Each structure stands twice: as C-alpha cells, then as structure tokens.
Amino acid sequence: ILEMDSHIYYYEVGGMSAVAGVIPRLIIGDKGIPNPQDIKMALRDENLHYPKTTLICLENTHNRAGGTITSPEVIEEIYQLVHQRNIQVHLDGARIFNAAIALNIEPALLTKNVDSVMFCLSKGLSAPVGSILAGSKEFIQRARKNRKMLGGGMRQAGILAAAGIIALEQMMERLKEDHKNARILGEGLANISRIKVDLETIQTNMVYFDLQESGMDTYQFLPK
C-alpha cells in the first residue's frame, strides 16, 4: 500500500511490479500524508480473488507534495495498526533528516516504528552520491543478495563512504539553512502576480510553484 503520489510508485518505471512482482494498492494522502484509517480500509487479508497485503511504504518527507512531513505519531499509529496483522512497514526516508530537523527531533524518532528505512546521503546532506538501507540483520542479508542479483554492486565504495560519513557527522544542522532559504524563495514567488505557491507545503527544503495563471511555460519563465 502506498500514497498515490509516492516516489516509489510514481517515478520508478513500475520497478516494484517488474522486479518484485508486487501489486501496488494506492490511497490518497492529505498533501502526501497518509491517513491511518485509509490504510486500514485498504488492507486485504488472504483471499482467492486478490493479493494479500504484506507491506506498507511511507515517504518522509514527501517529494511530490513539496517536502511535507509525516509526524512520528502518524507513523506509530500506522505501525501499530498493521503489525498486529504481520504486515511490514518500509520508510522511503530519502530526506528523513530534513523531516527531523524541521520537527527538531532525532531522526530515530521517525524510524523507530518502521521495519526498514532507506535514506539518502546526497539530498541535502551534500555527499556526492550514496544512500543507505537499514533494517534487521536478516533483512539486510536478503537485500545484499538481491542487490547482487540485480547488478547493484559497487567497487571502491569506501572512497564515497568517507564523504557519506562527513555528511552524517557535519551537515545535518546546516539543513536548517536550506529550510530557511526555501521559505524565503517560496514567499518571494508567492508575491509575484499570477504565480501560485502553496506556502503550507513548504515545510522543509522544497518549493513548488504553478505558472498556469501567468500564461508562461517553463522556458518563457526562466529568462525572466
């Protein structure tokens, strides 16, 4: 089960179905944030006519919603709801550190109620490349095997890991600067006639704006 605009579903060329044989079931979130009761209604038990629900995927912060944050309380409610039915929860936490900094909490509070999490070292944290997948020992053993099967191995990864360590140790607090600059940019754009910005969604480091009312397309707007 995924929110309908989640990155895993929207952008990854149907990889979940092509590679893993998984059938997505979508719910509509409020600015990307899922309602636990909608997830409850979407759950499917074993049945002859349709596949059983085995996994919930969350995204924090939410890319297509403009960097909105799912709170630890919502994540915990979802986790408690589905774990009693032996359903796993995975967190696409590419920008999880942005969510933690915006909420002024430790990242662990956003991950303690999930079974696995992926986070990115280059988005915001400024490493040149790299992501990390975390979960149980058994889960990571399976993930490494599947990575190998899909050709995802990398040589001399230690050089990149050094930059990743610096990103984790030194760059988290600087995310506040990104958030502040995003707010300044969003408010500035909102003050320009016929440019539409939903300031409510500017919670972290992302700014989306709509040019439709201006009559310009992207290429006409950029030189201005």
SS (H, E, C) the chain: CEECCCHHHHCCCCHHHHHHCCCCCEECCECCECCHHHHHHHCCCCCCCCCCCCEEEEECCECCCCCECCCHHHHHHHHHHHHCCCCEEEEECCCHHHHHHHHCCCCHHHHCCCCEEEEECCCCCCCCCCEEEEECHHHHHHHHHHHHHCCCCCCCHHHHHHHHHHHHHHCHHHHHHHHHHHHHHHHHHHCCCCCEECHHHCCCCCCCEECHHHCCCHHHHCCC
pLDDT average, residue stretch 100-123: 97
- Average pLDDT, stretch 183-201? 96
- Whether 165 maps to a domain, the answer reads no
- What's 40's domain CATH number? 3.40.640.10
pLDDT value for 152: 87
Q: Are residues 155 and 204 in the same domain?
A: no
Percent pLDDT > 70 in the chain is 100
The total number of structural domains that make up the chain = 2
Percent of the chain with pLDDT over 90: 91
Tokens found for residue 160: 């990149």
Give the mean pLDDT of the chain: 95
Confidence of residue 154 (pLDDT cuts 50, 70, 90): confident
Question: What domain range includes position 182?
Answer: 174-221
Confidence of residue 95 (pLDDT cuts 50, 70, 90): very high
Decide if pLDDT at 87 tops 90. Answer: yes
Candidate from 30-39, 53-62, 136-145, 214-223 with smallest mean pLDDT: 214-223
42 lies in the same domain as 115: yes
* pLDDT of 160: 87
Range 196-207 average pLDDT: 96
Residue 158 pLDDT more than 90? no
**Is 116 a member of any domain?**
yes
Q: Would the pLDDT of 222 be above 90?
A: no
